[in-house]
Amino acid sequence: MRQNIIISKQFKSELATAISECEKDKIFVLVDETTHEKCWNLIKDDFCLRNAQVITIGTTDSSKTLETLASVWEALQQGGATRHSLLINLGGGMVTDLGGFAASTFKRGINFINIPTTLLAMVDASVGGKTGVNFGGLKNEIGVFSEADAVLLNTEWLKTLDDENIRSGYAEMLKHGLIADEAMWAELINFNLAQPDLQQLSGMLGKSVKIKERIVEADPYEKGLRKALNLGHTFGHAFESWALEKSPILHGYAVAFGLIAELYLSVVKADFPTDRMRQTINFIREYYGTLPITCNDYPRLIDLMHHDKKNCGNEINVTLLGGVGDIRINQSVSEDEVKEALDFVREA
C-alpha cells in the first residue's frame, strides 16, 4: 500500500484535510521539549488543533526508551484517549519513531499522523512505517511496522534547525543517492552543505523521499529490496550505540561514518569504483569530521554488530554496492573484514 506522503505547500489546509480523514474523538500531539518550544507554538492556534492535548517528552535519542513510551501511554490513558483517537507526532525521528509505536500499540492501535520537523525525519524516520524504541543499549530493538495515516513534509521546518541537524539528515539523502543512480549521487556530493540553499534542498528532498517510497512500496516488511536502505547502517548503528555509552552523536553522523566502512567493504568485496568511494569519503570528511574510535573499541563495536536485526545466525550482514545504484543485499562479512573496515574508518 502506498503511504500518504504529502510534500506540503499549504501546510495549514493540508493538515486540516489529513486530520479530517482520520477518526478523532480526541486529538493528542506528541512533541519533545525542543519542538514544543520551536514548532508547536507555530501551529497551536490552528482551528483544527484547537482542542488538542499536548504530550511532551525529553529530547535526543536518550529519551527513546520503554520508560518514555510508557509515559506516553499513560498520558493518552489519563487524557481519555480511546481507540478512535488521533495522535499527531510533531518532531524529529525520535518523536515519530516512539510516537508511531505508542499509537500502534495503545488500544491495539489508534490513528497517527507524522509531521517531521528535521531533515532526518523527513527523508528517513517518518517515512516507511518503521516505529520503535531503543532497548538494552541497542538501537530500535523493540518496534513494529506501522504506517502513519499521513506524513506531511514541509521544508519550512528546516529553518528551525542548526547545521548539525541539517547534516545529520543529509547523510540519509547521500545514502539514497548511492543506491539510486550516478546523477542523484553527483548532485548530492556537489551540494554546498556549509551554506545550504534550502530551496534547492527542498527539491533534492522530494527526490530522496521518492527513492525510499518506491523501495518501501515494493518491500514493506524488509524481506528483500528494502535492505538496500540499510547501506551504512550495520556499522552506523554500532557507532551510534557505542557513542551513546560515551558521548552521543547524531544518527546521520553515525550513518556517514558507517558509509565509509561499508563503501570500503564494497570496494574490497564487490568492486565498487575506488574513485567514487574517495569522492564520497572526501565529502563526508569535509562535513562530518572523524569518529574517535581506537583499536580498543573494536570488540565492543563487533559485539554491537552481532546484535544487529539484519543478521542471520551468527554472521554479520551488510548491504554493499557494486557501483552507484548497483545494490548487493545480504552480504556476510567476517570479524577480520570488520576490523579492516574499522581500520579504514580510522585512517582514511
| Residue 68 sits in the same domain as residue 173 | no
Give the residues of the chain that fall short of pLDDT 50.
none
| Domain housing 259 | 163-347
CA–CA dist 241, 239 (Å, integer): 6
| Residue 136 sits in the same domain as residue 170 | no
- If phi > 0 it is left, if psi is from -120 to 50 it is alpha, else beta; for residue 137 that is left
Burial label for 314, CB within 10 Å (0-12, 13-18, 19+), is exposed
Whole-number Cα distances in Å, 191 to 118, 215, 325, 333: 18, 24, 19, 32
| Residue 201 sits in the same domain as residue 61 | no
**CATH at 260:** 1.20.1090.10
| Residue 178 sits in the same domain as residue 144 | no
Residue 97, C-beta contacts closer than 8 angstroms, at least 6 positions apart: 64, 125, 130, 131, 132, 133, 140, 143
| Residue 255 sits in the same domain as residue 152 | no
| Residue 138 sits in the same domain as residue 203 | no
| Residue 217 sits in the same domain as residue 335 | yes
Among residues 140, 160, 180, the one where a domain terminates is 160
Percent of the chain with pLDDT over 70: 99
Q: What's residue 308's pLDDT?
A: 82
| Residue 335 sits in the same domain as residue 186 | yes
| Residue 156 sits in the same domain as residue 182 | no
| Residue 32 sits in the same domain as residue 175 | no
Q: How many domains does the chain have?
A: 2
| Residue 144 sits in the same domain as residue 271 | no
Among residues 160, 178, 211, the one where a domain terminates is 160
Q: What's residue 2's pLDDT?
A: 62
| Residue 40 sits in the same domain as residue 133 | yes
Q: What's residue 160's pLDDT?
A: 86
Q: What's residue 97's pLDDT?
A: 95
pLDDT digits (tens, 9 = 90+) for 194-206: 999 988 998 899 8
Residue 70, C-beta contacts closer than 8 angstroms, at least 6 positions apart: none
CA–CA dist 138, 241 (Å, integer): 6
pTM above 0.75, yes or no: yes
**CATH at 148:** 3.40.50.1970
Among residues 139, 160, 181, the one where a domain terminates is 160
